[in-house]
Amino acid sequence: MERRQGLLGYYDYTVILTYTGMLIGFLGIVYAFEGNPFRAVLCLMLAGFCDMFDGAIASIKVRTRQEKCFGIQIDSLSDLVCFGVLPAMIVYTQRSGSAVAAVICGLYLLCALIRLAYFNVDEQERQQRSDGPREVNYGMPVTMSALFLPVACGVERLFLWGGVTGAVLLVTAALFVLPFPVHKPRLAGKICLTLCGIGEVAFVLFAYGVL
């Protein structure tokens, strides 16, 4: 990478949502450690919303190869914080001291790390062959934890079903590394996910007694 004057990295509009999402994810980790799972879950969902549209914003700008490579790396690093560490901390801090929870959360985080690292390598190789957008991913994207885990937290709290969130982490961990094809959502898919997210927010607010 060429030497640059000023701060390292890139600071244009293509990375604003990625940086914002990471900071929201870190805030969620703080809330989890402070024993406030409701705010931690809200941060997880908000980080998922940021991630849904950061790629679309980045695609508007004509970027150099270095900017594209930086975007791949920074997006995955942010995802590891928001959808790897944060979900693990939400579940573990609710069962602090549990060896089983520690193993489940550690395994989940490891699978998220492997999934993201594999994606980075695969995406860089793909961009050497084609300049077009990616149509298919293999393995479930880690961002889907922002859709599944809040619902599991709400169900667990509402019905007092212990172990729901741990089971969800185990299933999603397996889906991260299983090589099944997942087509990237287009506009209609993103609208559908947004509507699901709105319904999910309402359910979480109800489960935690806010509504």
Domain ranges of the chain: 13-207
Does 3 have pLDDT greater than 70?
Answer: no
Residue whose tokens read 């961009």: 127
Indicate the pLDDT class of residue 62, thresholds 50, 70 and 90: confident
Helix (H, G, I), strand (E, B) or coil at 161: coil
First vs last C-alpha separation in the chain: 51
Locate 199 and state its tokens: 């319904």
Q: What is the DSSP string of 9-57?
A: S--SGGGHHHHHHHHHHHHHHHHHHTT-HHHHHHHHHHHHHHHHHHHHH
Locate 129 and state its tokens: 């062959």
Asked if 19 contacts 76 with a C-beta cutoff of 8 angstroms, the reply is no
Indicate the pLDDT class of residue 156, thresholds 50, 70 and 90: very high
Indicate the pLDDT class of residue 171, thresholds 50, 70 and 90: very high
Asked if 158 contacts 209 with a C-beta cutoff of 8 angstroms, the reply is no
The correct CATH number of 13-207 out of 3.40.50.150, 1.10.645.10, 1.20.120.1760, 3.30.565.10 is: 1.20.120.1760
Does 70 have pLDDT greater than 80?
Answer: yes
Q: How far is CA 3 from CA 6, 9, 66, 68, in A?
A: 10, 11, 12, 16
Confidence (pLDDT) at 5: 61
Asked if 49 contacts 25 with a C-beta cutoff of 8 angstroms, the reply is no
Is the pTM higher than 0.85? The answer reads: yes
Confidence (pLDDT) at 43: 97
Confidence (pLDDT) at 144: 93
